[in-house]
């Protein structure tokens, strides 16, 4: 690129950043209400024949894909409904949120997964934070007890997957940082510090072993349970073992920001800031700030985007801006992300079975959920909008 063209491109990006303003939240939530009513109709129809399926996850060949409560994504739809109620205060959204939250309750005893935070805290936790319902509190506490059974003191981490045991005897994935919020909440609700201690141990061990010198994160770290030592570091959903899977970087940013909120440990704040620096300064982050599915994907710019990663990053940056001296750096990028998502990546009203956003990527290496709506993209988009409004 010649110098004159480079300067013009830099000015274009600077102009894009300078113009980014907070999204008009009321208009977006009004659209989200309309679109979610479409989704509720489609979900009700799907559950008539398969009532065991409790929540929409994505589109598969243009058709609505529903999941059972055991699926890691089962809690996001109820959380979206709670956020619609939180913003609008309309009783109809509270009623719907209560209905779809109740469908997740049995997961409080499911010890076969690390995804308790995603399933229970995004549904029951979001609902409890709004309503202070004592019954929701009990579900959160029991879920934390169940999640704690997956902690190995020798390793210092909560085990992630039970599948692929032939490949990873004790895998810990960066996504698991997101489930720690449930444990911190349980300590606040009970006064029992054991949950807090597990969360801190997991965060510290992950900070030690998951990150490269540039603060990009590995996806999967496997441990020896006899010694607690790292066996190997690789990926499952990223391009390569040494690449930076975009949603993994988003989980890291959000997770350590949340850990700082809960502990006020400055090491976590610094970690979140360093991860943010990696993301925001990466040469492969597009001008609209919505990342490709992996920062090192080989065919950039002809690679799928991951709007879910963008939504998580935007939400994380908005919270990080509350604590960091770098607030003036984070807020314009978060605004740009949310403007980009709002203007370019939303579904037209009435289409896509009611999903709010398009162009997310679940697992590109498996050719699974590539360039489709995903319920967690919708969830973190609404959360980011609420955080932007309340900052």
**Residue 177 · residue 158 · CB < 8 Å:** no
Residue 171 pairs in a beta bridge with 222
* Pairwise CA distance, residues 108 & 138, whole Å: 10
What is the SS3 assignment for the chain? Answer: CCHHHHHHHHHHHHHHHHHCCCCCHHHHHHHHHHHHHHHHHHHHHHHHHCCCEEEEEEEECCEEEEEECCCCCCCHHHHHHHHHHHHHCCHHHHHHHHHHHHCCHHHHHCCCCCCHHHHHHHHHHHHHHHHCCHHHHHHHHHHHHHHHCCEECCCCEECCCCCCCCCCCCEEEHHHHHHHHHHHHHHHHHCCHHHHHHHHHHHHHHHHHCECCCCCECCEEEECCCCCCEEEEECCCCCCCCCCEHHHHHHHHHHHHHHHHHHCCHHHHHHHHHHHHHHHCCCCCCCCCCCECECCCCCCCCCCECHHHHHHHHHHHHHHHHHCCCHHHHHHHHHHHHHHHHHHCECCCCCHHHCCECCEEEECCCCEEEEECEHHHHHHHHHHHHHHHHC
Say if residue 301 is preceded by a cis peptide, omega within 30 of 0: yes
Tokens of 128: 């409890």
Tokens of 59: 């589109």
Side-chain half-sphere exposure of 271, counting CA atoms within 13 A: 30
Q: Binding site annotation covers 241?
A: no
Q: Binding site annotation covers 251?
A: yes
Q: Binding site annotation covers 247?
A: yes
Q: Binding site annotation covers 36?
A: no
Q: Binding site annotation covers 360?
A: no
Catalytic option among 71, 86, 175, 306 = 175
**Residue 198 · residue 183 · CB < 8 Å:** yes
Q: Binding site annotation covers 390?
A: no
Catalytic option among 71, 86, 115, 306 = 115
Active site residue 175: yes
Q: Binding site annotation covers 193?
A: no
Beta strands at 220-223 and 230-234: parallel, antiparallel or unpaired: antiparallel
Binding residues: 115, 175, 235, 247, 251, 363, 366
Binding residues for substrate: 115, 175, 235, 247, 251, 363, 366
- The residues annotated as belonging to the active site are 115, 175
């Amino acid at each position: 690129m010649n110098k004159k063209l480079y300067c013009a491109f830099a000015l274009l990006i600077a102009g894009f950043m300078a113009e980014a303003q907070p999204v008009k939240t009321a208009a977006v939530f009004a659209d989200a209400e309309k679109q979610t009513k479409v989704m509720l109709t489609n979900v009700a129809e799907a559950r008539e024949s398969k009532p065991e399926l409790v929540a929409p996850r994505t589109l598969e060949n243009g058709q609505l894909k529903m999941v059972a409560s055991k699926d890691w994504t089962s809690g996001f739809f109820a959380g979206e409904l709670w956020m619609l109620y939180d913003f609008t205060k309309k009783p109809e959204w509270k009623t719907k949120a209560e209905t779809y939250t109740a469908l997740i309750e049995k997961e409080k005893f499911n010890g076969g997964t690390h995804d308790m935070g995603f399933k229970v805290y995004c549904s029951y936790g979001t609902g409890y934070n709004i309503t202070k319902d004592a019954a929701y509190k009990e579900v959160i506490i029991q879920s934390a007890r169940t999640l704690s059974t997956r902690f190995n003191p020798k390793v210092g981490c909560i085990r992630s997957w039970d599948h692929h045991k032939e490949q990873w005897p004790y895998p810990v994935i960066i996504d698991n940082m997101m489930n720690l919020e449930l444990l911190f909440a349980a300590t606040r609700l009970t006064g029992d510090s054991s949950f807090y201690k597990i969360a801190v141990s997991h965060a510290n061990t992950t900070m030690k072993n998951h990150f490269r010198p540039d603060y990009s994160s590995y996806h999967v770290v496997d441990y020896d349970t006899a010694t607690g030592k790292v066996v190997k570091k690789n990926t499952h959903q990223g391009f390569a073992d040494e690449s930076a899977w975009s949603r993994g970087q988003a989980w890291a940013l959000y997770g350590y920001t949340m850990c700082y909120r809960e502990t006020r440990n400055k090491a976590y704040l610094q970690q979140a800031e360093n991860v943010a620096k990696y993301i925001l300064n990466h040469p492969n982050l597009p001008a609209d700030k919505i990342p490709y599915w992996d920062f090192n994907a080989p065919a950039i710019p002809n690679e799928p985007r991951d709007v879910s990663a963008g939504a998580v990053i935007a939400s994380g940056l908005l919270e990080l801006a509350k604590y960091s001296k770098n607030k003036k750096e984070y807020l314009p990028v978060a605004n740009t992300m949310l403007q980009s998502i709002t203007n370019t990546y939303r579904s037209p009203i009435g289409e896509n079975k009611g999903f709010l956003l398009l162009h997310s990527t679940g697992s590109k290496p498996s050719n699974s959920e590539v360039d489709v709506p995903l319920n967690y993209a919708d969830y973190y988009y609404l959360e980011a909008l609420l955080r932007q409004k309340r900052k």
